[in-house]
Structure 1
Amino acid sequence: MPRVAVMTDSNSGITQLDGKNMGVGVMPMPFTIDGKIYYEDVSLSREEFFQMMADDKNILSSQPAPADLLEMWDKALEKNDQIVYIPMSSGLSGSCQNARMLANDYHGKVYVVNNQRISVTQKRSVQDALQMAANGMDAARIREVLERERFDSSIYIMLDTLKYLKKGGRITPAAAAIGTLMRIKPVLQIKGERLDAFSKARTLNQGKTTMINAIRHDIENLYGENNVWMYAVHAQVPDEFAVFRKEVRDAFPGYEVEDDRLSLSICCHIGPGALAIACAKKSSKL
Structure 2
Amino acid sequence: MFAITTDNNSDLPMTYLKEHDIGLMSLSYTVDGQTYDAHHPMPDADFYARMRAGAMPTTAQVNPEEARRVLEQALETHDCVLHIAFSSGLSGSYQSARIAAMELQEQYPDKQIAVVDSLAASLGQGLLVHFAVQMRDAGQSFQQTVDWCMENRPHIVHLFTVDDLFHLYRGGRVSKATAIVGSMLNMKPVLHVDDEGKLVAVGKMRGRKRALDDLVKRMGEQIGDYENKTFFISHGDCLADAEYVRDQVKEKFGIPDCLINFVGPSIGAHSGPGTVALFFLGKQR
Structure-2-length-normalised TM-score: 0.88
The superposition leaves residues 239-281 of structure 1 with CA deviations (integer Å, 9 ceiling, x where unpaired) of 33343332232222x2224041334333221111122322125
Partners of 1:73 and 1:225 in 2: CA distance: 33
Partners of 1:233 and 1:43 in 2: CA distance: 18
Counterpart of 1:162 in structure 2 is 165
- Residue 174 of structure 1 and its aligned partner are, at CA, apart by 2.7
The superposition leaves residues 139-183 of structure 1 with CA deviations (integer Å, 9 ceiling, x where unpaired) of 344222211111011111111111101211222323211111111
Is 1:172 aligned to 2:170, yes or no? no
The superposition leaves residues 210-256 of structure 1 with CA deviations (integer Å, 9 ceiling, x where unpaired) of 21111111112xxx15346323442211233343332232222x222
Contact 2:228 2:280 in 1 (8 A): no
Which one is further off, 150-159 or 124-133?
A: 124-133
Aligned ranges for residues 116-127 of structure 1 at < 5 Å?
116-127=119-130
Contact 1:155 1:279 in 2 (8 A): yes
Counterpart of 1:96 in structure 2 is 94
Is 1:188 aligned to 2:186, yes or no? no
Partners of 1:134 and 1:38 in 2: CA distance: 32
Is 1:209 aligned to 2:213, yes or no? yes
Percent identity between the aligned chains? 27
Counterpart of 1:32 in structure 2 is 30
C-alpha spacing 1:232/1:105, structure 2 compared with 1 (3 Å): closer
C-alpha spacing 1:137/1:104, structure 2 compared with 1 (3 Å): farther
Number of equivalent positions: 276
Partners of 1:139 and 1:226 in 2: CA distance: 24
Contact 1:232 1:257 in 2 (8 A): no
Counterpart of 1:260 in structure 2 is 260
- Residue 88 of structure 1 and its aligned partner are, at CA, apart by 0.8
Counterpart of 1:20 in structure 2 is 18
SS at structure 2 position matched to 1:149: helix
The superposition leaves residues 60-109 of structure 1 with CA deviations (integer Å, 9 ceiling, x where unpaired) of 12112222221122222121111111111111111112211221122253
Which one is further off, 103-112 or 176-185?
A: 103-112
Partners of 1:232 and 1:15 in 2: CA distance: 12
Partners of 2:89 and 2:44 in 1: CA distance: 24
C-alpha spacing 1:228/1:191, structure 2 compared with 1 (3 Å): farther
- Residue 24 of structure 1 and its aligned partner are, at CA, apart by 0.9
C-alpha spacing 1:92/1:180, structure 2 compared with 1 (3 Å): same
Partners of 1:230 and 1:121 in 2: CA distance: 9
Which one is further off, 238-247 or 84-93?
A: 238-247
Structure-1-length-normalised TM-score: 0.88
Give structure 2 stretches of 5+ with no counterpart. 106-110
TM-align CA RMSD:
2.2
Contact 1:84 1:113 in 2 (8 A): yes
